[in-house]
């Protein structure tokens, strides 16, 4: 205690104990530059509390990501539609069977705006068709889906944005997961092929032994 200085002490406008849902809680309010804060979450059902907690966690993560990397992208599925469009343009330059794989990647990226449309009770085919048409315009990359009307809107104009780092990480994780699954399929196929080859060799050996004994 002797080593404490005024700089080590904090300040608050109000410190009081309150009863919240039959529980005693100490509230410290009006602090100057607080390094930590507490969020009290209450709801009628435990499941609702869990859902609110998850939503807050996601919100804090999104804000933290935006603070660390201030770059932003248009939301409402606009970024994914634009990525899919660019990938399809690249697919035409690839040719052969690889072109089919590249186009499949573009289809996978468009799952995000399709999911937004389906969750809003819209026809995903109509929504994607209109979004693709909108993205062919100049500065069309900003167009996302309006879940109330199903029509393309300027996401930046309506303040619908998302951190660029979040989108990059989502695509990177999806690619890594898909690549891992494809590698597993190759390993399983190779193992089956190897087992079949050993079984064939064993049968051939038994056949030769049978012929020699005859």
Is the pLDDT reported for residue 193 higher than 80?
Answer: no
Asked whether the predicted pLDDT for residue 64 surpasses 70, the reply is: yes
The residues, ordered by sequence, that sit 6+ positions from 82 with a Cβ below 8 Å of its Cβ are 135, 140, 141
Residue with token string 């050996």: 205
CA-CA distance, 192 to 102, in Å (whole number)?
Answer: 28
Given a cut of 70, whether residue 119 has pLDDT beyond it is: yes
Is the confidence at residue 148, as pLDDT, over 60?
Answer: yes
Considering the chain, tell me which residue range(s) the CATH 1.10.560.10 domain(s) occupy: 74-167
Residue 23 Cα distances to 16, 19, 26, 40, 44, angstroms: 14, 5, 10, 12, 16
pLDDT in tens, 97-107: 889 989 999 99
Mean pLDDT of 138-149: 91
pLDDT in tens, 167-188: 898 899 989 988 888 887 656 5
Q: Give 57's contacts (C-beta < 8 A, 6+ positions apart).
A: none
Query: Where does the pLDDT of residue 144 fall: very low under 50, low under 70, confident under 90, or very high at 90 and above?
Result: very high
Q: Which tokens in the block code for residue 142?
A: 């900003």
Mean pLDDT score, 132-156: 92
Closest of 156, 105, 113 to residue 132, by C-alpha: 113
Is the pLDDT at 95 greater than 90? The verdict is no
Q: How confident is the model at residue 155 (pLDDT cuts 50, 70, 90)?
A: very high
Three-state SS for 134?
helix
**Is the confidence at residue 211, as pLDDT, over 80?**
no
CA–CA dist 174, 4 (Å, integer): 51
| pTM: predicted TM-score of the whole model, two decimal places | 0.65
pLDDT level of residue 210 (50, 70, 90 thresholds): low
What CA–CA distances, in Å, run from 127 to 39, 132, 135? 38, 9, 12
Architecture of the domain defined by 74-167: Orthogonal Bundle (1.10)
pLDDT recorded at residue 195: 55
């Amino acid at each position: 205690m002797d080593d404490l200085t005024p700089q080590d002490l904090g300040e608050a406008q109000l410190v009081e104990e309150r009863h919240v849902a039959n529980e005693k809680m100490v509230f410290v309010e009006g602090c100057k530059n607080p390094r930590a804060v507490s969020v009290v979450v209450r709801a009628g059902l435990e499941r609702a509390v869990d859902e609110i907690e998850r939503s807050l966690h996601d919100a804090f993560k999104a804000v933290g990501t935006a603070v660390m990397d201030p770059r932003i992208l248009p939301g409402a599925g606009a970024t994914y539609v634009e990525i899919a469009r660019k990938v399809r343009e690249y697919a035409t330059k690839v040719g052969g069977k690889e072109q089919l794989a590249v186009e499949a990647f573009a289809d996978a990226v468009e799952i995000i705006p399709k999911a937004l449309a389906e969750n809003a009770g819209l026809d995903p085919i109509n929504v994607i068709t209109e979004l693709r048409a909108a993205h062919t315009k100049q500065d069309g990359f900003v167009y996302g889906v309006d879940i109330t009307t199903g029509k393309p809107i300027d996401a930046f104009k309506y303040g619908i944005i998302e951190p660029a780092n979040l989108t990059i990480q989502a695509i990177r994780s999806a690619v890594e997961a898909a690549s891992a699954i494809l590698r597993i399929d190759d390993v399983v196929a190779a193992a089956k092929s190897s087992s079949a080859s050993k079984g064939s060799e064993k049968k051939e050996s038994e056949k030769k032994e049978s012929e020699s004994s005859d």
